[in-house]
Structures are given as structure tokens and as C-alpha cells.
């Protein structure tokens, strides 16, 4: 066995020594049409299926078949309170108390609900600050909320540009921008991990800056939850939202999640749009016209929970609880550092790592920006796909790679970077 750093035997040895390695077997690993295993590095877009997800879904289908309406009370996990089973696991990952999180709807819907509750423009305080190049749906949601209030997004949506040289944000600049907006600022909406660059942020710092000027702070944790340990309560987020099909592995279109800080839900007259599922559970079925909000984040639910899209989330949260987000993060830091070192070794001239260096400013994902531009990136991406590598390309020239500690290993990273090296040589 050679001892050259970065060789295959060494990567395999690191996998063999990894205490989290057995979790890989608890996921369905995709294979190509010809049966060859694929190298899946796309958990930032759609997490893999936990093997037990099928059992969780089957149980609900069986209970539905067996019980009909009685399943609301008599199912193995009664449907009336089905979403409650996700609370402890989500709270653990979000860094919140269980009562302050709720599994409901999908991400964009939850963002709209949170904006309806917390974006209340008054006088000069009308603006919403967002990162330039934000995920399209977040921008659409914010712009349409402004328009809904009769405000022109061109004037009231403030999009902060990243540093033009590095392509990422300097937190001090974000803080300064918040300070400059001052009392014109109603809300800062910021990602825990930016979807394109992979940059992670000290959100407590940004929330403090927002609060210092009298604005609120909402976090989009789509790319952060299940990726990094989070601390939404300690960070003083007013609200946070996420989807659960990326690092949370709950399946396509699975139920999303939401955090509301207890200072908003314990306060008399907590605000927000209303539906029967946000009504106090104890009296919900009296069906009375007057709305009494359930305490905690559950008071923002509208509808009875989508049991079939919540079932795989429970399967996945069980795996997170068994592995522990702290241990997952420690492995993730090593995996991503290994990826970075190999990319620099084999592709340092052809690609620039857009994601900031160092674990404090990133999660699992590295974003590789192709010096040769979009056409070169697409050609390399096509070769990688032909070689059984699953990752993605954000137009025009950013390839996103996420080694996920629950099911990826050092050999996956080794294999990807070897194929990247070969593809770059072939494409010149
Ligand atoms: C994945 C993602 C979404 C997707 O929104 P859905 O409503 O779940 O379709 C929205 N915003 C961000 C930042 C995302 O990463």
C-alpha cells in the first residue's frame, strides 16, 4: 500500500476508520441504468432516501387502508398529531426548543406566511434586505410581498452585492449595509448557507445588526439544516424556514419546516395568517368562529399535516438522532477539506473554489467556478455525468459538490476528483 497522501488506499482507510460509515448502508444509493453504482454528491439538492422511509410511508398507507377516518385517532402514529413527531428532531437540528418549530407546508409557502406575520411596513420602515443572487423563489416571495403591500420592489427591495473579487460576502459589509439602511429597514432575510456559493454566515451577528436598527431578522436554512449545527434561538432569529428534501433527506417535495422565536409566540396577540390547525389544539374541534392561537410555532400552521410527505422525514430524523449532528459535522469538515485539497491538487488551474476557505464559513458544499467559463463547465459536467458522478451545475459556470457525512465517504471524494482530473485533461 502506497502512503502518498490522497491516494485511493488512504481514502479507503479513512472510510474504514470512520465510526459513521455504517450509516451509508441505511440509505438507498442510486445506480445507473446499467446497474453500475453512481457517485452521488448532490445532497445539497436532493438528499438520498433512507431505507426505512418506505416502512414509514407503508405504515400510513396500511393504517389508512385498515382504518379509514379512524386513523386520525387510532393509527399507529395518529394523524391528528403526526407532525408533532418531527418536532424534537427538527428542534435539535435547528437549535431551538421543540415548541418553537413546526413541520408544515413547503419552504416558499412558509416564507410567505412568515412575511405575512412579520413584514409590516410602517412609515419609512419598509425595506427588506436580501443578498443579491438569492435563490429565485425567495426573491419572488419577497418582491411579491412588497407588491402585495402596494410597494415597488425596485425601491424597497435592497439587494446587497457580494465582494466583486471574491464573489462572497464579508460579514462586516453586511453589518455596515444594515446600519446604513437604519430605520428604513423592516427586515433582513438571509441564508444560513448561500445555495450557489456555499458560504455560511454568523447569523447571530447579522440578527444583532438588524435588531440594532429596529428591523427583524429571518433566516432561510434550506441549505443549512442537517448540514451545520444551528442555533436559531440563541442567534435571535425572529423566524427561520427550511425545506427538508436537501440535507434532511425527506424526499422530493417533502413537508417543510419553520421556527418562530418564542418572544413572538408567547407575546399576547401573536400575529399571522390563520387556519384551523393553528387554533389551540384543545378546542380546535369545537369549530368555533373565534381564533385562539396555539402557543409556539404550531400556532402558524394552517392545515392538518401531510402525513405521507412527513413520514420519510421521521425516518430521516431518526438517523440524525442516532448519528448526532456534532459527529456528522466533524466528519463533514474533514470530508470537505479533503475535497478542497484534492480539487486544488488536480484542478487548481481550471477551477476556483468559490466557497470561502475554512469550516467556519461553509458547510459540506464546495462550489467550483470554472475559469474557462460556462461552455467549458458544461463540457466537463457532461463528462462527469457520463462517468457516473452526480452533482449539479448552476448556470453559467458553478459546479456544486456536496459530500454528505451521513452517506458519502472519502472514497467518493477521491473518485470524483479523479474523474474531474480526467475530464479536465480531456477537455483541455
Ligand atoms: C431549495 C430552496 C427553495 C425551494 O423552495 P420550495 O418552496 O421548497 O420549492 C427555496 N429557497 C431556497 C434558498 C432553497 O435553497
Q: Are residues 270 and 338 in the same domain?
A: no
Nearest atom, ligand 1, residue 191 CA: 13
User: Considering the domain boundaries, does residue 42 fall inside one?
Assistant: no
Listed residues 320, 351, 386: the one ending a domain: 320
Q: Are residues 315 and 337 in the same domain?
A: no
Q: How far is the CA of 51 from the centre of ligand 1 (A)?
A: 24
Q: Are residues 159 and 287 in the same domain?
A: yes
Q: How far is the CA of 11 from the centre of ligand 1 (A)?
A: 33
Q: Are residues 337 and 314 in the same domain?
A: no
Residue-level pLDDT at 140: 98
Q: How far is the CA of 368 from the centre of ligand 1 (A)?
A: 21
- State the CATH number of the domain containing residue 337: 3.90.1150.10
Q: Is the peptide bond before 203 cis (omega within 30 degrees of 0)?
A: no
Alpha carbon distance 127, 160 (integer Å): 12
Which tens digit of pLDDT belongs to each residue from 366-410? 999 999 999 999 999 999 999 999 999 999 999 999 999 999 999
Ligand 1 pocket member 81 (CB < 6 A) = no
User: Considering the domain boundaries, does residue 312 fall inside one?
Assistant: yes
Nearest atom, ligand 1, residue 256 CA: 8
Range of the domain at 349: 8-37+325-427
Q: Are residues 179 and 202 in the same domain?
A: yes
Q: How far is the CA of 81 from the centre of ligand 1 (A)?
A: 26
Q: Are residues 112 and 16 in the same domain?
A: no
With the most atoms of ligand 1 within 8 angstroms of its CB, the residue from 44, 47, 110, 135 to mutate is 135
Alpha carbon distance 412, 315 (integer Å): 24
Ligand 1 pocket member 111 (CB < 6 A) = no
Residue-level pLDDT at 5: 55
C-alpha cell at 59: 405504515
Q: How far is the CA of 196 from the centre of ligand 1 (A)?
A: 12
Alpha carbon distance 74, 63 (integer Å): 9
Q: Are residues 352 and 417 in the same domain?
A: yes
Count the Cβ atoms, other than its own, within 10 Å of residue 243: 24
Under a CB-based contact definition with an 8 Å cutoff, are residues 143 and 153 in contact?
A: yes
Nearest atom, ligand 1, residue 109 CA: 7
Q: Are residues 75 and 109 in the same domain?
A: yes
Ligand 1 pocket member 110 (CB < 6 A) = no
Ligand 1 pocket member 195 (CB < 6 A) = yes
User: Considering the domain boundaries, does residue 52 fall inside one?
Assistant: no
Length of the chain: 428
Ligand 1 pocket member 135 (CB < 6 A) = yes
Q: How far is the CA of 356 from the centre of ligand 1 (A)?
A: 22
Q: Are residues 231 and 124 in the same domain?
A: yes
User: Which residue lies with its CA nearest to atom 1 of ligand 1?
Assistant: 222
Residue-level pLDDT at 6: 62
383: DSSP letter: H
Ligand 1 pocket member 370 (CB < 6 A) = no
Residue 257 phi/psi, 5-degree rounding, is -145, 165
Low-confidence ranges of the chain (pLDDT < 50): 1-4
Listed residues 320, 353, 380: the one ending a domain: 320
Q: How many angstroms separate the Cα of 380 from the Cα of each of 241, 347, 397?
A: 34, 12, 11
Alpha carbon distance 230, 233 (integer Å): 9
Q: How far is the CA of 239 from the centre of ligand 1 (A)?
A: 16
With the most atoms of ligand 1 within 8 angstroms of its CB, the residue from 138, 191, 313 to mutate is 138
Residue-level pLDDT at 124: 98
Q: Are residues 274 and 403 in the same domain?
A: no
User: Which residue lies with its CA nearest to atom 2 of ligand 1?
Assistant: 222
Residue-level pLDDT at 230: 98
User: Considering the domain boundaries, does residue 45 fall inside one?
Assistant: no
Q: What is the DSSP string of 339-405?
A: HHHHHHHHHTTTEEE-SPSSGGGB-S-EEEEETTHHHHHHHHHHHHHHTTEE-EEETTTEEEEB--T
Q: Are residues 354 and 310 in the same domain?
A: no
Alpha carbon distance 92, 94 (integer Å): 6
Ligand 1 pocket member 244 (CB < 6 A) = no
- State the CATH number of the domain containing residue 221: 3.40.640.10
Residue-level pLDDT at 269: 62
Nearest atom, ligand 1, residue 111 CA: 7
Under a CB-based contact definition with an 8 Å cutoff, are residues 305 and 80 in contact?
A: no
What is this structure's pTM?
0.97
Residue-level pLDDT at 151: 98
Listed residues 293, 320, 347: the one ending a domain: 320
Residue-level pLDDT at 1: 39
Number of domains in the chain: 2
Alpha carbon distance 277, 270 (integer Å): 15
Residue-level pLDDT at 347: 87
Q: Are residues 316 and 401 in the same domain?
A: no
Amino acid at each position: 500500500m502506497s502512503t502518498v497522501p490522497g491516494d485511493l488506499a488512504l481514502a479507503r482507510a479513512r472510510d474504514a476508520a470512520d465510526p459513521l460509515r455504517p450509516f451509508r448502508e441505511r440509505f438507498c444509493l442510486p445506480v445507473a441504468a446499467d446497474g453500475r453504482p453512481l457517485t452521488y454528491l448532490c445532497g445539497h439538492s436532493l438528499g438520498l432516501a433512507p431505507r426505512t422511509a418506505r416502512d414509514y410511508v407503508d405504515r400510513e398507507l396500511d393504517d389508512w387502508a385498515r382504518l379509514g377516518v379512524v386513523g386520525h385517532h387510532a393509527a399507529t402514529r395518529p394523524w391528528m398529531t403526526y407532525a408533532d413527531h418531527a418536532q424534537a428532531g427538527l428542534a435539535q437540528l435547528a437549535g431551538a426548543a421543540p415548541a418553537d418549530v413546526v413541520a408544515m407546508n413547503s419552504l416558499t409557502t412558509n416564507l410567505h406566511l412568515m412575511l405575512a406575520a412579520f413584514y409590516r411596513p410602517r412609515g419609512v420602515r419598509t425595506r427588506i434586505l436580501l443578498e443579491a443572487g438569492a435563490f429565485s423563489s425567495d426573491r419572488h416571495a419577497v418582491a411579491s410581498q412588497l407588491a402585495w403591500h402596494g410597494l415597488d420592489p425596485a425601491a424597497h427591495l435592497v439587494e446587497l452585492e457580494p465582494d466583486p473579487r471574491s464573489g462572497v460576502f464579508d460579514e462586516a459589509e453586511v453589518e455596515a449595509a444594515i446600519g446604513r439602511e437604519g430605520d428604513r429597514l423592516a427586515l433582513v432575510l438571509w441564508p444560513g448557507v448561500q445555495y450557489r456559493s456555499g458560504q455560511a454566515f454568523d447569523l447571530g451577528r447579522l440578527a444583532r445588526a438588524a435588531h440594532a436598527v429596529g428591523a427583524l431578522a429571518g433566516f432561510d436554512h434550506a441549505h443549512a439544516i442537517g448540514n451545520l449545527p444551528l442555533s436559531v434561538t440563541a442567534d435571535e432569529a425572529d423566524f427561520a424556514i427550511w425545506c427538508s428534501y436537501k440535507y434532511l433527506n425527506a424526499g422530493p417535495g417533502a413537508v417543510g419546516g419553520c421556527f418562530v422565536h418564542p418572544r413572538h409566540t408567547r407575546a399576547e396577540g401573536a400575529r399571522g395568517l390563520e387556519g384551523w390547525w393553528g387554533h389551540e389544539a384543545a378546542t380546535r374541534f369545537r369549530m368555533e368562529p373565534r381564533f385562539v392561537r396555539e402557543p409556539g410555532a404550531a400556532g402558524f400552521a394552517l392545515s392538518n399535516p401531510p402525513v405521507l410527505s412527513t413520514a420519510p422525514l421521521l425516518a430521516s430524523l431518526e438517523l440524525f438522532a442516532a448519528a448526532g449532528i456534532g459527529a456528522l459535522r466533524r466528519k463533514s469538515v474533514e470530508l470537505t477539506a479533503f475535497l478542497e485539497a484534492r480539487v486544488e491538487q488536480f484542478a487548481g488551474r481550471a477551477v476556483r473554489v468559490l466557497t470561502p476557505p475554512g469550516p467556519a464559513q461553509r458547510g459540506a458544499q464546495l462550489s467550483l467556478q470554472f475559469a474557462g467559463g460556462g461552455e467549458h463547465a458544461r463540457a466537463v459536467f457532461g463528462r462527469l455525468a457520463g462517468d457516473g458522478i452526480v452533482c449539479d451545475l448552476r448556470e453559467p459556470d458553478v459546479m456544486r459538490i456536496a459530500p454528505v457525512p451521513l452517506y458519502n465517504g472519502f472514497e467518493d471524494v477521491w473518485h470524483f476528483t479523479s474523474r474531474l482530473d480526467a475530464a479536465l485533461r480531456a477537455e483541455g
